Amino acid sequence: MNQRHTLIDIIRRHAPSNGFHPTPLAGVTLVRSDTPTVPMPVVYQPTLCYIVQGRKQVSIGATTYVYDAANYLVASVDMPVMGSIIEASEAEPYLCLVLDLDRAVLSELALRHPTTCHESSASTPSGIELNGSTPELLDAVSRLARLLDTPQDAAELAPLVIREVLYRLLTRPGNQMLLQMATADSRLRQIAKAITWLRAHYQEPVRIDDVAGVAGMSRSTFHVHFKAVTSMSPLEFRCLLRLQEARRLMVAEALDAAGAGYRVGYESPSQFSRDYARVFGLPPARDAVRLRSGAL
């Protein structure tokens, strides 16, 4: 049995049903789905998403990423995305291992291995990137997953294997995003601070100068780098945060459209409906009914 098939077997056993499955390994979550899913809003925190079977599509703004077992996804900042599983079946379910990225470990590795880590570019990278998997990364991820079968070893070995996974990500070509994530004064880290602030204050009126101040940038510089990371302007980003939370409230908590819009900071129900239909393609109430029924 090759390593990918070993991974498939382990994840199927430890994620026996559809959904997200936390594990005893700190920062490691398993995901399974036996069917394709409708696009749903989710906020990606800094993570590695390593698919071992199936395919997923993630959209942010006008940018769409499709990835599978050949390509892993890394998110370096908190990103509101629309995600849908596009390839899955009962015979071959979608299976994914998600690992939270530890900035402190990444920073230490970048300092310890300056000759192995490729030099960081002066440009600001996107907050989400795809990269091709390697045999070395697959081997490390496989050994991490195998610790689920030997929990007596996990406390000692899991931190070491996770460190190796991060090392494999950081030291391969195409790692500019991770290098900037590991660098305290990088543009990416500055934008990450602003994104964290926006997520905490998205319901409130926002002055762009205030958000730029959180990032430690001028207004014009902030706009340029924020759009490079998120593919959106700061106000578009805040709008998407509001709309995604409103969608969740209508589907998960059965709020009506007016109540959901008000809860996330909209004063005008008509403006909320216009923004919602522009982003999700349907008026709020109709979209909520469709999602509750599970219709594609």
Mean pLDDT of the chain: 89
Domain 236-293, CATH homologous superfamily name and number: Homeodomain-like (1.10.10.60)
Architecture of domain 187-232: Orthogonal Bundle (1.10)
pLDDT at 227 over 80: yes
Residue 254 pLDDT: 87
> Using CA of residue 99, residue 228, residue 181, residue 235, what is the dihedral sign?
negative
pLDDT at 146 over 70: yes
Q: In CATH terms, are 187-232 and 236-293 the same topology?
A: yes
What is the pLDDT averaged over residues 93-114?
Answer: 88
Sequence length of the chain is: 296
Residue 68 pLDDT: 96
Contacts from 11-16 at CB under 8 Å and sequence distance 24+? 11/52, 11/95, 11/96, 11/97, 11/145, 12/93, 12/95, 14/148, 15/95
Topology of domain 3-182 in CATH is Jelly Rolls (2.60.120)
The backbone region for 60, taken as left when phi is positive above 0, alpha when psi lies in -120 to 50, beta otherwise, is beta
* Sequence spans of domains, the chain: 3-182, 187-232, 236-293
Pick the range with the lowest mean pLDDT from 3-7, 91-95, 106-110, 213-217.
Answer: 106-110
pLDDT at 31 over 90: yes
pLDDT at 110 over 90: no
Residue 171 pLDDT: 84
Residue 127 pLDDT: 84
280/274 Cα distance (integer angstroms): 10
Residue 121 pLDDT: 52
Model confidence at 142, pLDDT cuts 50, 70, 90, reads very high
Residue 56 pLDDT: 97
CA distance to 37, 58, 95, 180, 237, per residue, from 230 (Å): 24, 13, 27, 15, 8
Structure tokens at 74: 């890394």
Contact 114, 57 (CB under 8 A): no
Residue 119 pLDDT: 52
pLDDT at 294 over 70: no
pLDDT tens per residue, range 228-275: 888 889 999 999 999 999 998 998 888 999 999 999 999 999 999 999
pLDDT at 115 over 70: no
pLDDT at 118 over 60: no
Residue 295 pLDDT: 47
Q: Which amino acid belongs to residue 92?
A: E
Strands (E), the chain: 19-22, 28-33, 40-44, 47-53, 55-60, 63-67, 71-75, 79-87, 94-100, 128-132
